[in-house]
Amino acid sequence: MVSKELETAINKQINAELWSAYLYLSMSTWCAHEGLPGFANWFKVQFQEEQDHALKFMNYLIAKGNRVELAPIEKVETSWDSVLKTFQDTLDHERVVTSLINNLVSIARKENDFATENMLQWFVNEQVEEEETAQGMIDSLKLIGNNGFGVYTMDKELAQRSYTPINTTTTA
């Protein structure tokens, strides 16, 4: 079992991952409404990935003999001023998630819980990728500026992104 402190923190992280999924689903529907199906697809894949992140944490707690306690998901934004703003909000949010993951690692280290720290390294690496990807999208959209053809082209490229499920078991 993991400690009660770590169990509580991981349950909060599960809620944060599900909130992230809900946020990305909201961004997806906003993009679809704005006539950007490729951007909508990109955020829908993010939605699915965040659900997998929550499942990975849930399965870990269950495997360790702890309880999963699901809490209500707080309200998310439902509209943005621009597609650039969705990615700026994405980067800001992913930085918050990185700090939450780092906090979990700190608790695991403090408790000498090497198994949990090892499991969390997957999330540490994932957060580097998430932040880098969001920053790349921001950089691209800033280069495009108000060029409608550039946005159209990027939208077509993002429509090609497909969902690849992660291994949500405790052995990966």
Check pLDDT > 50 for residue 172: no
Name the amino acid, one letter, at 67.
R
Note the pLDDT tens digit of each residue in 150-164: 999 999 999 999 998
Q: What one-character DSSP code corresponds to residue 82? A: -
Note the pLDDT tens digit of each residue in 103-139: 999 999 999 999 999 999 999 999 999 999 999 999 9
Output the pLDDT for position 23.
98
Q: Which helix (H) or strand (E) holds 14?
A: helix 4-33
159 closest CA partner among 27, 30, 29, 42: 42
Task: Tell me how far apart the alpha carbons of residues 91 and 107 are, in angstroms, rounded to a whole number.
Answer: 25
User: How many Cα atoms occupy the beta-carbon half-sphere of 137 within 13 Å?
Assistant: 24
Query: Burial level of 146, CB count in 10 A (0-12/13-18/19+)?
Result: exposed
* CATH (residue range 4-158): 1.20.1260.10
Output the pLDDT for position 166.
87
- Please check whether residue 61 is in contact with residue 68, taking contact to mean a CB–CB distance below 8 angstroms: yes
Question: In the block, which residue shows the tokens 């009660």?
Answer: 4
Question: In the block, which residue shows the tokens 């992660």?
Answer: 166
Output the pLDDT for position 171.
58
Q: What is residue 64's three-state secondary structure?
A: coil
Task: Tell me how far apart the alpha carbons of residues 1 and 63 are, in angstroms, rounded to a whole number.
Answer: 8
- Please check whether residue 104 is in contact with residue 3, taking contact to mean a CB–CB distance below 8 angstroms: no
Note the pLDDT tens digit of each residue in 10-65: 999 999 999 999 999 999 999 999 999 999 999 999 999 999 999 999 999 999 99
Domain ranges of the chain: 4-158
Task: Tell me how far apart the alpha carbons of residues 102 and 163 are, in angstroms, rounded to a whole number.
Answer: 26
Output the pLDDT for position 94.
97
